[in-house]
Amino acid sequence: MACPHRTAHDNLYIEDFSILGTELFIKRSRSAEPKTVQYRFFDFAVLTNGRYCMHYDLLLKQGLVIDPKNNRHGVMDVAVYAGRIAAVQDRLDGDAVEVLDMNGRIVTPGLIDAHLHAFANSCDMGIHTDRFCAPSGVTTACDAGSTGAANFQGLRDLLARSVRTRFRAFLNLSLIGITGAVGELSDRRNANPEACFRTIAANRDLLIGVKLRLGPGLTWDSLEALLLARQAADAAGVPLMVHITDCPVPLPQVVEQLRSGDVLSHPFHAFTNGIMNPERTAILEPIWEAQKRGVLFDSAHGRLGHFNFAIVRKALELGFMPDVITTDLGIPSATRGPVFDLVTTMSKFLNLGMSLQDIVLRTTARPAELLGLGQNLGHLGVGAIADIAVLDVQQGTFEFVDTDKNVLQGQQRIVAVSTLREGRVCYQSGEAVGATSTKHRAVFN
């Protein structure tokens, strides 16, 4: 890229230039020296020998950039300035405080895990949440209904004091949230749509939706609970997320209550009342219709029967893919498996036949939109927050396990090499050691 230069008339300096089609304008200055020159988004041009040249905080050289939102898939340079994406091109000239040679490694937007549990049972991953996010390329996450109106403040305090990973959360319809000891809505008195609405209204910086779990022993009445959750979500003007593993009622009765932007979690369980017909040969028509009208299907790997390889493989063969790929991570599944982390879940989909491009889309741009963060996160467009994951796809023989203890022998494994949040490294592996690695940097800023 040629450096900008001073114009010949009235002491005006160059007015515009383009980076990947995005124009960045410089304000005019009538002074003899360009001290007041400013960019609309950045001021990373440095006057050198009478010419403006680009100066970045960080330059990632020659990585395989996969940025589905911006239709990028190729070897490129990525520049960062002041915590934002400054430029993405085949090759970038200019100085940088730090230059990192990617050596062909994969460079994606920071990964987003839109379904995990940081505070189930008022603890779960808790103060250790960052150590299970950053080492897998995750810069943003969403707690999927661990707390209700009565104990949400505990989650809020945890995130403010002890967690650096960027967070959003769904609020459980149940006042008490997920306790583990008893179904949170087995007692009708715990269902309080008004309290749910009030809590969301008072915490819109963090709360983005209502969560309902339907399953054996979880509710006093599945359909009545669903209607109350719908009422709370509509009152608050937010999406409804519904857990449906081993759902007590036929799934079509559930999805008919869901609208565009709502989320259906755990579609790949192998219990009755799933997304397929009893013979497991076809996706139910109401499921196709729901996805077409904008209901989001969330893989939500988890444990306890949520994720079955045979169901996933057959669904992919039938052309049905989840809209977002998530872990449903908690302390048990992060430390003992079978989930471990987001890149391991991504690896399973890769070995079951999904393309890397489709997987990255469902762990970056799609969940960013779900969380209401799509303008600044989930992509590497100029001006976006510089959350970046550097990944490797290792070749070899790897063993993966689903929630029913079925084993998948795979030939590829995705691992995180580096994780950057707002342009700063928060995790750096000595080598790509995979899901069990706990080496990371705790301080993000």
Contact 386, 85 (CB under 8 A): yes
What are the residue boundaries of the structural domains of the chain, listed by start? 111-354
Contact 242, 254 (CB under 8 A): yes
Contact 85, 108 (CB under 8 A): no
Instruction: State the pairing for strand pair 263-265/296-298.
Output: parallel
110 DSSP 8-state letter: P
Contact 176, 148 (CB under 8 A): yes
Distances (CA, A) of 311 to 52, 281, 347, 355, 414: 57, 10, 16, 18, 22
Tens of pLDDT, residue by residue over 21-47, are 333 333 333 333 333 323 344 455 554
Q: pTM for this one?
A: 0.87
Contact 174, 191 (CB under 8 A): yes
pLDDT for the residue 1: 36
Q: Give the homologous superfamily in CATH for domain 111-354.
A: Metal-dependent hydrolases (3.20.20.140)
Average pLDDT across each block of 10 residues of the chain; the chain has 445 residues. List them in order: 32 32 33 34 50 81 98 97 97 92 95 96 90 96 98 97 97 95 94 98 98 97 98 98 97 98 98 96 98 98 96 98 97 94 98 98 98 98 98 97 97 97 91 36 27
Backbone angles phi, psi at 225, to 5 degrees: -60, -40
Encoding tokens for residue 128?
Answer: 């250790």
Encoding tokens for residue 305?
Answer: 């029967």
Encoding tokens for residue 250?
Answer: 């036929």
The CA R_g of the chain, rounded to the nearest whole Å, is 23
* Residue of 227, 225, 237, 273 lying closest to 252 (CA atoms): 273
Contact 209, 170 (CB under 8 A): yes
Helix 193-202 / helix 222-236 crossing angle, nearest 10 deg: 30
